[in-house]
Structure 1
């Protein structure tokens, strides 16, 4: 595929929607994207939502323009392989809870020492620092906490969530722009 990001190499180690959408958009613009999944715990999007002829539609969309690789980043051997891959890429997209990459010996300090020009995009619900940073977050939680769910739906009805991953999608679009 050609496009304005042709020649840019991306490692996508994120799951579900916001992070993988970042990498999918980068791939849509021509980046070479490798999706890395845990060997026994694949991305939850593989089984999310409707399917057609046995192919999950969300997974088909968010994994397009990507090549796949399995690697256990929490295992020291897997982390070493990852570090070798990082030496030859431009971008890493991850969305683990803050501190996870560091616990695995893959924090930005380590990765940028291997590849000084590396862009590490970290997609989290509450950022890497701050009072809520250790809390898990999903789009529905963000849509609720932001007041979006309260403002939608019927005036005399309960809060209503959007019919698709709105917060995750907005985070993915913003993240791809940030890269």
Structure 2
């Protein structure tokens, strides 16, 4: 069963690439007392994720902040090194925080896994976006199949 609006974000640890190397952050620290726009992608450097999903949130970062969002976070079942390289390749420059869920622990805990083994990708995350206020899900937009229709930056921004 997947997480839904009104649910508390489960406890998990994510990893971010920093100038000093990989650094862990708990979901309690990430979401506690803050408003966070989250989107998840099946994989860094994949076509839709790189061409449309991440760029949309980078482009709309100021609009999210103007509507009271403290931070935009992208989560993927990749390692921190891949997420860091993807951020550099996409010129994210701090507009979106890229967090690795290397073992898929967070993705499993929210019930939004995707079996990518048919493509040689193993366990991944479904494509989704959500708004989290003080650790509680306020909005959740989960894509069906390989679609990219409801988890985009414009949709989530319109829900604020």
Q: TM-score, length-normalised on structure 1?
A: 0.36
The structure with more strand, counted as a fraction of residues: 2
* Bigger RCO of structures 1 and 2 (CA < 8 A, at least 6 apart): 2
Q: TM-score, length-normalised on structure 2?
A: 0.39
Q: Which has the larger radius of gyration?
A: 1
The structure with more helix, counted as a fraction of residues: 1
